[in-house]
Amino acid sequence: MNEKLGVLLVDAPEPRHAKYNYLEYSDGTHSIFMADAKETVRAEAMLCTQEEAKKYPQFRWVALDDLS
């Protein structure tokens, strides 16, 4: 099965400092980062399937193809 990959976003209230607030996992640590460019999010955010995202209900899963 070839599941879609996506990223986990934080739904931050307005006013926001950046378009995206995303979850990154590096060196055993989860962190929240901000970016305005979807290319940055695609390159740096933690990638996961929609099924894996269920472990993180506080975040919103968005497929890579659906980042706007």
Cα–Cα distance for residue pair 13/54, rounded to 1 Å: 22
Q: DSSP for 15-54?
A: SPSSSEEEEEEETTEEEEEEES-HHHHHHHSPEE-HHHHT
Predicted confidence at residue 1, as pLDDT, reads 54
Predicted confidence at residue 15, as pLDDT, reads 83
Number of Cα atoms under 13 Å in the Cβ half of residue 52: 12
Tell me: pLDDT of 3 over 80: yes
Q: pLDDT tens digits, residue range 11-52?
A: 988 888 899 999 999 999 999 999 999 999 999 999 999 999
Predicted confidence at residue 51, as pLDDT, reads 97
pTM of the model: 0.88
With respect to residue 68, please indicate whether it lies within any of the assigned structural domains: no
With respect to residue 40, please indicate whether it lies within any of the assigned structural domains: yes
36 lies in which domain range?
A: 6-63
Q: How many domains does the chain have?
A: 1
> Tokens at residue 46, please?
């933690």
Residue 16 neighbours by CB under 8 Å, 6+ apart: none
Predicted confidence at residue 13, as pLDDT, reads 85
